[in-house]
Structure 1
Amino acid sequence: MDDTDDYPAFLPAPASYHWTPKLQRDFLESLATTGSVKIAAAKVGMSPSAVYQLKHRAAGAAFKLGCAAAVLSRAGGWSTSCSIARSGAMTKPPS
């Protein structure tokens, strides 16, 4: 028996504590719809602080861009481009 079995700190966190690609997509779609980090985070079972932590990590660079795009989409400034990108019809950014 391993000594770490008695200490919860050594147990791996459940997958639900991590930002999976699906959670990130669901969050970004909700952010684009609601415009609220708090509401979008709650919809995917994460906290707003988890959102900001991911955005500020090097591994969260694409997520940070996605958040900016979702906010722009919500403001109506990028709705056509985002719709095309989500449909998979766009292969490169518009010029």
Structure 2
Amino acid sequence: MTSHYEQLGISPGATPAQIKAAYHAKLREFPAHTHPKEFKAIREAYEALRKGETTQRDDLLNIRPLEAELNPEILKQVEEKAIAQLEVNLDDLIRATF
């Protein structure tokens, strides 16, 4: 697999103007209607160099686990409040039903 710079025929230290000029020269050399695969590869190389390759495709696919810790004191308070809300005596249940 060739690098994007090799695809456009330029050195890695090329300026944005040189990258653009090389891109247009390659498009004239490989027009889309006669060389669709080469045209697509040239277009992808130019887009990657123009954007500076700030996003890596591999980074998007790496799943990092979410790290979270629950405070046991707060968890205990929430549990107590939930239990208090659930405690209903039989008389209250009958009144709520009828």
Per the normalisation by structure 1, the TM-score is 0.35
Q: Using CA pairs below 8 Å that are at least 6 residues apart, which structure has the higher relative contact order?
A: 2
Per the normalisation by structure 2, the TM-score is 0.34
Greater share of helix:
1
